[in-house]
Structure 1
């Protein structure tokens, strides 16, 4: 998934990983499934 995100945004896979890690740390979560639950709890939409 990081590879696909990197390709779509024209950035490196390492940059994607760094941003994902920072987001997880700030949300105090460990994986993308937990991120989806946080988004759901906040009533945000994923597009």
Structure 2
């Protein structure tokens, strides 16, 4: 969820310049994917042993 919010914020921040937005679109997408994976990993690592 946090990664999605970050991507929305960054995309809206660079929305004024379409060229800049296209340039960093895949970078934001990669960061979003990494944050989602890290969040999921932490969730599993913290809560799975207690289940």
Q: Indicate the TM-score class for this superposition, using the shorter chain for normalisation.
A: 0.3 to 0.5
Query: TM-score when scaled to structure 1?
Result: 0.41
Structure of higher RCO (CA pairs closer than 8 Å, 6+ residues apart)? 2
Q: Which of the two has greater helix per residue?
A: 2
Query: TM-score when scaled to structure 2?
Result: 0.38
